[in-house]
Chain A
């Protein structure tokens, strides 16, 4: 038996890249009402959505990680679930559980928190590794197997996980292999003083999140995802991507370079990024703009680089810079 949660899978026609720009523009506008002054973070979140990836939001508490995830979910008319990760959260809370129904005298599947278009996994590094891996497996497989039955997850499916930096107390840091599942990691950072001032005005008396109205729906997002797949990537740009990933593997400052999965996701993210800019082709600028966000959380700095206090972002940027931008087709 295959069960799609809340399945309304039929798409209403195809979408062009122009539609993508238009619709995503509205979504961005809506989210920006809630999250002020964080245009680049919002764009990266939208890129993740269109590229069928998952987003890892990492920063100190209180800078709006959860707010971003929720605002994104609200502005798209689709199912949104939020799972608060705690040390006592069980894997079945994520995936769902089969319960014996006394009336039907049969086992009935109760879907877990994962069955939604957008899943907000709050403070994911507070859950036990076992629960974390339950989530992460479904992220990659886009399906859930419970008691021998496989349940497909509906498209779009995007996990927005937030986590506090691993140095904070009471956390189980995600292993590298699991961080690799996330397409993009963003750091929110503190808002600028003026944005913070605006925030006091808007959030002080009302809740803008509650007032947020959906500007699009899941089927439109599915259409846009398909449209993004048509974005052209020239051989030269593919070559450029491979060279950048290779540069991280050969860098002396990195103990672990980026995986082939990273290569693939860099390409997909590049497509979505180009589509957001209204282009039907990926330029090297797209790739270099995304490189840090896509690659930084997958690599490990060498001890020398750590001693030299070089951040991973710097090392990735240097690796990108070392690669010659292709100047012909």
Chain B
């Protein structure tokens, strides 16, 4: 087998193994077969071309061409509506990206995602082959598959799995071993058979070298694997996987809801006491912006202070203020959970509020995600409980942010608009239309389940309203808010907690009480809460929200008659409810600086880990070289190799020639004392290589110290930056192995 065949095969094996790492991301595994076919066809073509003696550029060009042709063929095989082939391709790609952004892993099958996966895998195969054979830097081949590994490691909260690490590590080892065997071949080539005896068995050295890199890499990968899934990076696209064990927190209201609802253990996160008889909804965030991705954040205008401004849209503030004492357990977020409408609050730390939504967010320095963790605070609020009779006749108002909260996107699917019209046809006033929508959603035709797909994008809403009719609070709230807009009522989705379970005077809220609900705006009443989520979860709907057409004329008291909303009248929801979440993507970083903070922190941490990898490998290699387990000759050779790598690390060249010649060359770069040590080591190497017997236990025991001394001597005259670079990015790791 030629050496280029070996490298090519190793790259194929490595990338095929690496494809398994993205398996946790999707339920559709058909991409595996396709990408393997791509990898193999590229690999076979590469081997053939290298055998034919083509240059690296020609090979790379062919590989890229092959990749492009394959991807184009794959895209062509997927049905689509676009006129042009590139339009088709772009639309597939876009839908894939959107799919990834709106779905939690494992994702439902999607052709666009498949196309993206296959393209990326093919590109990684080409890149890896280029690193290994084109550039002759097999040690770098870890980078592309590791990048592939990082995606599920960061994106999913499920266990990325020891198997994934093993796949990457095994593939990398394959490349290293192939390269090692190639070097062995180079060494023995050209020697006659008898004289080559004793030289051709360099394979153990190869294995050892592979171990030097492979083991630390494996360990590091394991550490990475443990550390990374706890980071939730909003905007990466792969949001909350089901049932993680990560810290309880709300970092991004659009992503964390479902994850928290799926917590395997229902932990208590908030306790409060209140003089409100039915408990209070604790509201954290508000999502006013509707787009194809669902409801999302928009930029907030923050004011500082603990006295919140006027309640939006409320003409006469109710006189009665309720006081609620809240204490948060181990739950992190930068939003302060408050009853609506809060008037003032007393909490330690720096806070700011948004006058449109009355959302209070942390405004201090440091990790804002911990702003509410173990926080005790008090809040004064008023209840927005319109009189049902008055509300029926209320007009639709125009909130300050009407441009956002009244907007019906032009690309809203017609089917949704039509459904809304059908439901609300019979209702005359805005409040009745809202009640009809709520009643429709609370009817038994909808099933509550947290296992469904997340999001409130068009696709998710269509699936929820017209498809399987399964969803959780995010879909219920999103659907109602969307439909309210269609009929002209400004709406938004609030994210927070259900009132929880009463225990004496205290209310206890658990993580599964997380909830999303719609708020609709009526003139004179401001933002009014509705509850489209079924009673089994969210309890009864507010009394003002359940009128029917008949009620409007006769009896304005709450009586659910249209739709199948449960009849339990306004009792406090006392069952700890599995709640649901609000969909959408965070669309404005400025509104949520913590997103940037988190991305920055996560990115920084990742960069640190990546930066630390070469140093770790290098240090591990050094310590294993200087350990005293091997035979005397091996120890001397290891020390010599260590000195060689140190010289290279600190920017020097390793001279050619015999140990003595090299030693006398290196001595010139050292101070006198270290120079003597270098001479000693060179003599030791010479003796171990060429003398009859070699047993100098005295000097051997000092060898690690001598090696260290020489290394220090090499480092001394170098600049600070050079020293840092030598530690963080040791050149010796990225050097071509010396030809022997």
A interface with B by C-beta (< 8 Å): 232, 234-237, 239, 242, 279-285, 288, 324-329
Contacts and interface: CB of A to CB of B under 8 A. Distances in A.
Contacts of B198: 235, 329
Interface stretch (B46-54, B159-167, B455-463, B685-693): B685-693
Given A280-B691, A284-B658, 19 more contacts: A232-B690, A234-B690, A234-B692, A235-B198, A236-B690, A237-B690, A279-B691, A281-B692, A283-B658, A283-B659, A283-B690, A284-B690, A324-B740, A325-B656, A325-B661, A326-B689, A329-B198, A329-B688, A329-B690
Contacts of A242: 195
A103 B687 CA distance: 64
Nearest to A328: B689
Closest 6 CB pairs of A and B: A281-B691, A232-B692, A284-B658, A325-B658, A234-B690, A285-B660
B28 interface: no
Interface string B661-677: 10000000000000000
Contacts of B195: 235, 239, 242
Interface string B190-218: 01000100110000000000000000000
Most buried by A among B637, B659, B690, B740: B690
Contacts of B692: 232, 234, 280-281
16 contacts: A234-B689, A234-B691, A236-B689, A242-B195, A281-B687, A281-B691, A283-B690, A288-B658, A324-B740, A325-B657, A325-B661, A327-B689, A328-B199, A329-B198, A329-B689, A329-B690
A283 B656 contact: no
A276 to B, nearest CB: 15
B637 A328 contact: yes
B633 interface: yes
Contacts of B687: 281
Contacts of A328: 199, 637, 689
Contacts of A325: 656-658, 661
A326 to B, nearest CB: 7
Contacts of B199: 328
B477 to A, nearest CB: 72
Contact of A283 (B191, B633, B637, B660): B660
Given A235-B198, A324-B740, A328-B637, A285 B691 contact: no
Interface in B632-653: 633, 637
A327 B657 CA distance: 9
Contacts of A282: 690
Interface residues of B, number: 20
A167 B191 CA distance: 41
Interface in B118-134: none
A323 to B, nearest CB: 11
Interface in B363-403: none
Contacts of A232: 690-692
A105 B660 CA distance: 66
Contacts of B689: 234, 236, 326-329
A282 B657 CA distance: 15
Nearest to B688: A329
Contacts of A281: 687, 690-692
A193 B241 CA distance: 87
A203 B633 CA distance: 53
Contacts of B660: 283, 285
A237 B660 CA distance: 14
Nearest to B685: A327
A277 to B, nearest CB: 10
B637 A285 contact: no
Most buried by A among B633, B661, B688, B689: B689
Contacts of B688: 329
A17 B195 CA distance: 29
Contacts of A326: 689
A146 to B, nearest CB: 44
A192 B706 CA distance: 40
A69 to B, nearest CB: 31
Contacts of B637: 328
Contacts of A324: 740
Contacts of B690: 232, 234, 236-237, 281-284, 329
A229 to B, nearest CB: 13
A305 B656 CA distance: 26
B442 to A, nearest CB: 81
A285 B658 contact: yes
Nearest to A230: B692
B658 A329 contact: no
Nearest to A237: B690
A327 B660 CA distance: 12
B740 A327 contact: yes
Nearest to B657: A325
A285 B691 CA distance: 13
Interface string B203-247: 000000000000000000000000000000000000000000000
Contacts of B656: 325
A143 B691 CA distance: 35
Contacts of A279: 691
B632 to A, nearest CB: 11
A290 to B, nearest CB: 13
B203 to A, nearest CB: 14
Given A232-B692, A328-B637, A329-B198, A283 B740 contact: no
Nearest to B202: A328
A280 B198 CA distance: 23
Interface in B402-429: none
Nearest to B662: A325
Given A234-B690, A236-B690, A283-B686, A329 B633 contact: yes
A273 to B, nearest CB: 13
Nearest to B687: A281
A284 B656 CA distance: 13
A279 B690 CA distance: 11
Nearest to A238: B195
Nearest to A242: B195
Interface in B719-740: 740
A328 to B, nearest CB: 6
B740 A285 contact: no
A82 B688 CA distance: 45
B687 to A, nearest CB: 7
B170 to A, nearest CB: 29
B200 to A, nearest CB: 11
B661 A285 contact: yes
Interface in B603-643: 633, 637
Contacts of A329: 198, 633, 688-690
Interface in B683-714: 686-692
Nearest to B633: A329
Nearest to A235: B198
Nearest to B637: A328
A283 B659 CA distance: 9
Nearest to A281: B691
Nearest to B692: A232
A110 B659 CA distance: 54
A317 B178 CA distance: 36
A327 B737 CA distance: 14
